């Protein structure tokens, strides 16, 4: 006796939970040759606002964790992702129309990126910070601190897992919380990655994943007064200048679009940090 097919609906990831869109909307995700693959939630303005609220609530705890602890959590993400490699290979191969070997290399790239950024968690401050020379009986020290809530448009149109990790992982290193709009055409690996995050000691709200239309969601995030930075990595085909203008209204830091999957770089960590300078008198004893 044959079983009925049970179509899967991939949900959003907000505040450590997997809600449906408050609007009730979904859209169909197809394989590379046009066959139905799954349903995905289509995020609304309310979903975007809820994600920002969750991220804001999570910033203090994540930023307050030790750098060593953040590195261990990010490394745990790599471990769990690697343990579910076969699932991600199948999802990517079906959605993007690539061979299992190509999909496997993309998963390996994502795992390697998590490991690479995890290693920087307790080291980047030594590179970005400084003991500054001053004329007087003072210590003057500059240290990097997280910017806060970072809204991200992930790379669109391919390499959906590697592209997502390439923009989310560096933002987390310094202690930021993230709201990311996944690849619209290939959102399944993003939601599966959210399942990995939910079981990898990442506190709820530190990463929030929205699926749906970046053209619809990005303007709300760009104009949101509680978003501190905007990464437009995958917004090259949108009217991103308008997004930059909207972000300027609230003095939101903006990282402009770049083609393809961003390279692993210390610069992507530092793009979402602020430098705090501390003065302290020297003891006269």
Tell me the CATH number at 237: 3.40.605.10
Does residue 2 belong to any structural domain of this protein? no
Does residue 23 belong to any structural domain of this protein? yes
C-alpha angle 8-21-214 in degrees, rounded to nearest 5: 95
| Nearest residue to 156 (alpha-carbon basis) of 112, 92, 213, 104 | 213
| Strand arrangement, sheet containing 130-131 | 130-131, 138-146, 273-281
Provide CB contacts within 8 A for 37, sequence distance 6+: 28, 29, 30, 31, 94, 95, 188
pLDDT at 4: 75
Question: What are the pLDDT digits (tens) for 111-142?
Answer: 999 999 999 999 999 888 766 677 777 777 77
Does residue 211 belong to any structural domain of this protein? yes
pLDDT at 144: 87
Ranges in the chain, pLDDT < 70: 1, 130-132, 283-285
Provide CB contacts within 8 A for 234, sequence distance 6+: 153, 154, 155, 156, 163, 167, 181, 183, 214, 257
Q: What is the pTM of this model?
A: 0.93
State whether the Cα torsion 255-260-261-265 is positive or negative: negative
Q: Which domain holds residue 225?
A: 9-281
Cα(203)–Cα(65) distance, rounded to whole angstroms? 11
For the chain, what is the domain count?
A: 1
Does residue 226 belong to any structural domain of this protein? yes
Does residue 52 belong to any structural domain of this protein? yes
| Strand arrangement, sheet containing 26-30 | 9-10, 36-41, 26-30
Does residue 1 belong to any structural domain of this protein? no
How far does Cα 139 stand from its chain's mean position? 36
Does residue 84 belong to any structural domain of this protein? yes
Does residue 4 belong to any structural domain of this protein? no
Tokens, residue 240: 């991103």
């Amino acid at each position: 006796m044959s079983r009925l097919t049970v179509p899967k609906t991939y949900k959003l990831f907000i505040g450590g939970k997997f809600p449906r869109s408050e609007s009730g909307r979904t859209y169909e995700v197809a394989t590379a040759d046009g066959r139905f693959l799954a349903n995905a939630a289509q995020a609304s303005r309310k979903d975007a606002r809820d994600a920002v609220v969750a991220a804001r609530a999570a910033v203090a705890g994540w930023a307050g964790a030790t750098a060593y602890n953040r590195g261990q959590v990010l490394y745990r993400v790599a471990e769990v992702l690697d343990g579910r490699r076969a699932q991600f290979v199948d999802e990517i191969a079906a959605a993007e129309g690539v061979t299992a070997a190509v999909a496997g290399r993309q998963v390996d790239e994502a795992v390697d990126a998590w490991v690479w950024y995890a290693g920087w968690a307790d080291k980047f401050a030594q590179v970005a910070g400084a003991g500054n020379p001053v004329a007087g009986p003072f210590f003057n020290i500059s240290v990097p601190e997280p910017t806060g809530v970072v809204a991200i448009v992930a790379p669109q149109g391919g390499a959906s897992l590697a592209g997502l990790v390439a923009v989310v992982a560096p933002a987390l290193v310094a202690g930021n919380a993230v709201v990311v709009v996944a690849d619209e055409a290939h959102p399944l690996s993003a939601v599966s990655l959210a399942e990995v995050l939910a079981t990898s000691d990442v506190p709820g709200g530190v990463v929030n994943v929205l699926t749906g239309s970046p053209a619809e969601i990005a303007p709300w995030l760009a104009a949101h007064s509680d978003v501190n930075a905007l990464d437009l990595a995958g917004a090259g085909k949108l009217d991103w200048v308008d997004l930059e203008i909207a972000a300027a209204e609230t003095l939101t830091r903006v990282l402009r679009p770049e083609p393809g999957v961003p390279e692993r770089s210390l610069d992507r960590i530092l793009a979402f940090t602020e430098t705090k300078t501390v003065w302290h008198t020297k003891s006269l004893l």
